[in-house]
A and B are shown apart, each in its own frame.
Chain A
Amino acid sequence: MRDRTPYWFLFIIVLTALALWIDLPVQHPQWLNDLLLWQPQEARDNNRRLGLDPVRTHLGLDLQGGLQVLLEADLPPDQTLSEGAMETARQIIERRVNGLGLAEPLVQLQGERRIIVELPGVANPDEALALIRETGLLEFVNAGPSYIPPGTRVRTTYGTGEADTGPAEGAGTTTEVQATPTLTATTPITGSEGLTATETITPTEPALPLLETVMTGAALQDAQVVRNPRTGEIEVAFQIRPEKAAFFEEFTGSHINQYLCIVLDKVVISCPVIRNAIRENGVIQGQFTLAEARNLALQLRYGALPVPLRIETVRSIGATLGEDSIRKSIRAGIIGVLVVLSFMLIYYRFPGFLADLALIIYALLNLAVFKLLPVTMTLPGITGFLLSTGMAVDANILIFERMKEELRWGRSLRMAIEAGFDRAWTSIRDSNLSTIIISVILYWFGTNFGASAVKGFAITLILGVLISMFTAVIVTRTFLRLAFHWVQSWLEEHPWLLGV
């Protein structure tokens, strides 16, 4: 027996058992989240908060239905975007989309002028689209004496029915009436400072205090980043529209040393304290970095989306279309793999049986990796996986054909096994490398053009090739060596078992 074979065998058994446990459709313990270090922190927090299985199957748009939208900055091509504008727009859209309560929304920048939004499982695509495109609501909210940390979701009087007239147009008296209940209610929020989990709570949650909207973004004329000539600190300067100046002066004058929070889509983005009465021109001071200040100025200036966005592509897929696809693909996959398993068994006999075991381990490992990484399963992704099972047996076929040749040339069984693996290795390596190269090109194409179908296929193909190199070479070799050790004489007496 060769040196390390038993250890390999043990390793393979443990690995397979682990993979099997991950693959099983049972609820996996939450502590797995702490081990999935390669996943972004947000995703793991999200799993914990929603109580989702940390290793679950992630279904793509085509399998569970949903919406994919590609948005592009609606500006002339020669006009350069201000730095960070697209990122700000992305964050705003992400914030809105998070309100839909979906398990895995995705909002990503694509290139310099585009944002891609994917909402798997969204129930009402039209509504979601409207939500993405709407210009967000910017409000200045009277927080009274208490500071509200940015990121806190709040309830405001604007548009909630309690202030039907709309404070933006309303006179000071309307807002004055609303002031009393709001001010007293602010205290619990400061107590929950830093609790990011509250972000997901819907605005209608009774625990959220109602805050008075002083005015909306419509009252702002402009905002820009400036440097304080005396201290050299970065500040955001803003100008109030002339018709609102008197109102703003009166409000700020009567609320000195209280907080005026800037709220975007009901989430606090900044909460400065009022130092003196402001008429038309004011500045917001804080320990801003340049990027933060720029971001804030953009949000003030454009209310919400710092750039107008135009829809370039929309894909909306009904949920039942996806269910049908899943059922059919699983059936097709099982049938295909069963045929491959029987072919290997009939054509290569005993080694074929070992290759079948290796193929089953291959499938288990692959599915476990899909759940762990995670890889979002799409129809082309499933096809890529099924095709890669074909390649996984290809390596075994190369090895076994070689073994048969070596046996025919009169080598001993043991020599033939070793030669089969050694000689076939260069072919396996070279042909798999070419598949990996192709897959990388496909992945590049898929990522750059929102062709998630292409990307899904490429990912499963790459993973399949890599895992197959392990199972077809190491797993089969370990099994064959052990088999040789245990049943050598039996195999030598029955050469047909080796397909010779």
Chain B
Amino acid sequence: MFNIVEKRGWYFLFSALVIIPGLIAMAYSTAQFGSPVRLDVDFTGGSLFVLKFQEITSEDAIRAVFESQGLLDPSITRLGAPEERTWQVRTDFVTQEQSEALFDALEQQIGPVDRDASSVDSVSPAIGSEVTQAATIAVVAGAVVILAFIVFAFRRVPHAFRYGTCAIAAMVHDILVAMGFMSIMGLLRAWEVDALFLTAMLTVIGFSVQDTIVVFDRIRENIPKRRGEPFETIVNRSLLETLHRSLATQLNAIFVMVAILLFGGASIKQFIAVLLVGLISGTYSSIFNAVPLLVVWEKWSQRYALA
């Protein structure tokens, strides 16, 4: 029988190699912007304008208009090809009056703005910090509830707490991978985290746990069936038995997401990219981290008991 669990050292090493660059990016990003990932106006407060002009214009021209309205140091990026004439501008929180004055100034100094193809997103700093707080609570609550759920689901199996902890370890792995990815993209491509990113993270957590549960469930089923076998063999057998399912399911999710990534609208691409990275990490971590970790724990506790 092919032994997956045996080579666990390599898998942990691989995970480390993926996670460490992300951690470095997060540390650098924290030093640079004050948070491990770039936060958008949902969290920091501020205003985000997407403006479609009727004529081709330049970053300097837009900057001049914003600064003339007292909005110093706007960050301006072009969206899509130059002929799309669409720009994204991020500023401090703008009141409604300021926003109207701004549109008037843009129309006077640059040219007509196609309002139907533009959007404004303004969040006051107070709301931003509340959202950040709530997001943290949501992620922590998610982790705690899932741990409780696993412990409950495995209550009849010896060492239920171990299963829960290993599943959480895999989950932390996936969060780090997804955050690291986002942090690196933030540094390279100025990707920003919005409220949807939280959705992506929690979905990744959900799927990660789902994968882990399927394997654990098989271990739970196999333990009483094969009393004579060592734990490691049972675990390995369970892994192999569920491998087809993990890969088939994963492939389906990947199909859907790649389709959205390639053919879907631009506004949702970052969200899907994070989801995709997280889901791949989720499958990897349940097979190559959560389950081998269970074996490591078993071995340690045996050694400890013998000593």
Binding site for B on A (CB under 8 A): 62, 65, 70, 125-126, 129, 133, 311-321, 324-325, 328-329, 331-333, 335-337, 339-340, 343-344, 347, 379-380, 383, 386-387, 389-390, 393-394, 397-398, 401, 405, 423, 426-427, 430-435, 437-439, 441-442, 444-445, 448-449, 451, 453-454, 457-458, 461
Q: Are B117 and A320 in contact (CB under 8 A)?
A: yes
Give the segment of B3-11, B58-66, B241-249 that binds chain A: B241-249
A362 to chain B, nearest CB (A): 13
Bound-state CA distance A339–B146 (Å) is 32
Q: Are B134 and A337 in contact (CB under 8 A)?
A: no
Q: Are B265 and A328 in contact (CB under 8 A)?
A: yes
User: Given A312-B124, A379-B265, A390-B249, is A434 in contact with B256 using a C-beta cutoff of 8 Å?
Assistant: no
Contact residues of B between 195 and 247, Cβ < 8 Å to A: 195-196, 198-199, 202-203, 205-207, 209-211, 213-214, 217-218, 221, 241-242, 244-245
Query: Which 10 A-B residue pairings sit nearest by Cβ, starting from the closest?
Result: A336-B259, A438-B206, A431-B210, A336-B256, A332-B263, A332-B264, A390-B253, A325-B265, A339-B255, A318-B116
Q: Kindly list chain B residues whose C-beta atoms are within 8 Å of the C-beta of A386.
A: 256, 260
Bound-state CA distance A191–B242 (Å) is 74
B53 to chain A, nearest CB (A): 13
Q: Is B142 an interface residue (CB 8 A)?
A: yes
A-B contact pairs, 25 of them (CB 8 A): A65-B116, A70-B127, A313-B122, A316-B119, A317-B119, A318-B115, A318-B117, A332-B260, A332-B262, A337-B256, A340-B256, A387-B203, A390-B252, A397-B244, A401-B242, A405-B241, A423-B221, A431-B213, A431-B214, A433-B149, A434-B206, A438-B203, A444-B138, A451-B42, A453-B196
Q: Are A318 and B145 in contact (CB under 8 A)?
A: no
Picked from A317, A390, A449, the residue with its CB within 8 Å of the CB of B256 is A390
Q: Are B264 and A441 in contact (CB under 8 A)?
A: no
| Chief secondary structure at chain B's binding surface | helix
Bound-state CA distance A445–B138 (Å) is 7
User: Given A339-B255, A449-B134, is A311 in contact with B217 using a C-beta cutoff of 8 Å?
Assistant: no
Interface residues on B, range: 35 or more
Q: Kindly list chain B residues whose C-beta atoms are within 8 Å of the C-beta of A454.
A: 195-196, 198-199
Q: Kindly list chain B residues whose C-beta atoms are within 8 Å of the C-beta of A442.
A: 138, 198-199, 202
Q: Are B251 and A343 in contact (CB under 8 A)?
A: yes
Picked from B150, B202, B217, B262, the residue with its CB within 8 Å of the CB of A427 is B217
Q: Is B20 an interface residue (CB 8 A)?
A: no
Closest residue of chain B to A313, judged by CB? B123
A46 to chain B, nearest CB (A): 26
Q: Are A340 and B252 in contact (CB under 8 A)?
A: yes
User: Given A313-B127, A315-B119, is A380 in contact with B199 using a C-beta cutoff of 8 Å?
Assistant: yes
Q: Kindly list chain B residues whose C-beta atoms are within 8 Å of the C-beta of A344.
A: 252
Q: Are A394 and B96 in contact (CB under 8 A)?
A: no
Bound-state CA distance A315–B40 (Å) is 14
Give the segment of B22-30, B184-192, B266-274, B290-298 that binds chain A: B266-274
Q: Kindly list chain A residues whose C-beta atoms are within 8 Å of the C-beta of B213.
A: 427, 430-431, 434
Bound-state CA distance A337–B263 (Å) is 13
Q: Is B126 an interface residue (CB 8 A)?
A: yes
Q: Is B72 an interface residue (CB 8 A)?
A: no
Q: Kindly list chain B residues whose C-beta atoms are within 8 Å of the C-beta of A317.
A: 119
Q: Are B210 and A434 in contact (CB under 8 A)?
A: yes
Q: Kindly list chain B residues whose C-beta atoms are within 8 Å of the C-beta of A444.
A: 138
- 16 additional A-B pairs beyond A397-B248, A445-B198, beta carbons within 8 Å, are A70-B127, A318-B115, A318-B117, A321-B116, A336-B260, A379-B265, A383-B268, A386-B260, A427-B218, A434-B206, A437-B149, A441-B138, A441-B142, A442-B138, A444-B138, A449-B130
Bound-state CA distance A70–B146 (Å) is 32
B1 to chain A, nearest CB (A): 14
Q: Are A434 and B209 in contact (CB under 8 A)?
A: yes
